[in-house]
Chains A and B, each alone.
Chain A
């Protein structure tokens, strides 16, 4: 087992163990905090597929995170009011159905956004993805039917068959399982033919084209898949907070997801997990001391970018093994 695998396993156990202990000690707040780590990590796993494997610095992934959230919020609101969604389509409070809808919507919106953005690269790609996300953000703000600037509150958490989702620990376990499933999928896809082509597209798109694989198509599929995972996380996030608002769609959110990945280790399987842990712990511990906790996070980020490109995982487990 490589050192990185060991570190990954320890992180996974820590992330599972801590809330179990907290729940045992009757501290549900920490379970919710851990759920926040898990859901942010899941969102960042999605971005990591585009950014880490594919080298696509999307500054608009909040769009997909927020879309997933709004899908959950809108479906739940309609179901709560006993109205159909539209054109007679019934709303639902079933989490699995909501997830499917969130993933589908994120993917469908990501395809045209990706198809346009991926015509560009570098700074232009960053700016175009940002612009699309901002368009969706302003759309949400100016749509009073779903809360506009105030967002949408959900009176109860959506339902999962056989689980009491209102309690923190069961809901944590659902999210944790989702994260592990996404990490497994990420791992498998990265080692597949598609994953090879995607990594080659990041390393050298011309080389990929020269063997007959069009980088655009590979990147587009990766971008959409990446958006789908982040959209899934958005739906879980809405249910975690029982609230969805435009802030989920804002560029701050996009930036946070990038920060998580860089903190944890770009392109590394558990990079998003490590990053989300640091981020939430900082937010909680330092945030309790000073409102300017992001300043200190910024210092750490600076240190990592300057001295430890591999992020926390790079520090803990050394250089990545070459394949």
Chain B
């Protein structure tokens, strides 16, 4: 079996007395979509934040491509190839959709310490960025400021930005949230194709999407992973049914 791309060992994070991450270990292997499910407040977003570097873990290790990245900040982790989307979209609101993606293209191409060439006429930026918007069906809205995009469009934009980074792993935090059944269906088939570009850690509440996409599922409850397995294993796990799926499936 191939080496894991992302390997988390015994990660812990407390907010005061609350153990939001309580000894979590998990692996993400090449070609996989690894879904992370669990009730609200289970600590899924907190885990994504620690992997991406926007929150510091109290203890434990995070290895990415064989390297311990615990000491790196968010930007350094992104440069190594970790692309994330936010549960609540986080965009440069005044910039158009295109310029938001161009920012990612510029980051991937290297230095931002270039002071003269104008970005709006720089085809090395505009063309790859437009191509990413086309992939997520947002090309028609390329010149609309992010602040004026609809909720669903912002989610698509977040994914286009992640794609533009040509990452080594995706971290998606509830990309379908609030998308509506039609949008969710389309996004599901889109994400399905992404696993060949890079493996994905997918936090998602939409169980249809999770069961359709996931190679493996981990169930997080109160900061602990209570089960990890294939779709069928998780569906038939009595603890999981009791703790979580009881109300969902």
Contact = CB atoms under 8 A, between A and B. Distances in A.
Most chain B CB atoms below 10 A, which of A197, A199, A203, A207 = A207
B65 interface: no
The A interface is mostly helix, strand or loop, or mixed, namely helix
Given A212-B75, A212-B79, A193 B117 contact: yes
Interface string B82-124: 0110100011111110011011101110011111111110100
A214 interface: yes
Interface string A294-323: 000000000000000000000000000011
A323 B104 CA distance: 16
B96 A322 contact: yes
Interface string A176-188: 0000000000001
A192 interface: yes
Interface residues of A, number: 27
A116 interface: no
A215 B93 CA distance: 16
A209 B112 CA distance: 12
Most chain B CB atoms below 10 A, which of A206, A212, A215, A221 = A212
B161 interface: yes
A210 interface: yes
A191 interface: yes
A210 B78 contact: yes
A109 interface: no
A196 B106 contact: yes
Contacts of B145: 322
Nearest to B104: A211
Contacts of B104: 211
A188 B120 CA distance: 12
A196 B103 CA distance: 7
A115 interface: no
Contacts of A218: 112
A111 B58 CA distance: 32
Contacts of B114: 192-194
Nearest to B84: A210
B170 to A, nearest CB: 12
A214 B90 contact: no
Contact of A203 (B83, B92, B161, B165): B92
A201 to B, nearest CB: 9
A211 B116 contact: no
Given A200-B92, A221-B113, A323-B120, A210 B99 contact: no
A206 B103 contact: no
A255 B94 CA distance: 27
A322 B103 contact: no
B76 interface: yes
Given A193-B119, A200-B92, A206-B54, A211 B78 contact: yes
B99 A212 contact: no
Contacts of A221: 113
B197 interface: no
Contacts of A199: 92, 94-95
Most chain A CB atoms below 10 A, which of B83, B111, B118 = B118
B94 A322 contact: yes
Contacts of B108: 211-212
Given A196-B99, A199-B95, A206-B54, A212 B119 contact: no
Interface in A38-77: none
B116 A212 contact: no
A188 B125 CA distance: 17
A137 B23 CA distance: 53
B91 A213 contact: no
B20 interface: no
B90 A191 contact: no
A173 interface: no
B117 A192 contact: yes
A18 B111 CA distance: 44
A149 to B, nearest CB: 40
A208 interface: yes
B155 to A, nearest CB: 14
B52 interface: yes
10 contacts: A192-B114, A193-B117, A193-B119, A197-B106, A199-B94, A210-B84, A211-B78, A212-B79, A213-B107, A323-B94
Given A204-B91, A210-B54, 20 more contacts: A189-B115, A191-B119, A193-B115, A193-B117, A193-B122, A195-B115, A196-B102, A200-B95, A203-B95, A209-B53, A209-B74, A210-B84, A211-B161, A211-B164, A212-B108, A213-B75, A213-B112, A214-B73, A218-B112, A221-B113
Interface of A: 188-189, 191-197, 199-200, 203-204, 206-215, 218, 221, 322-323
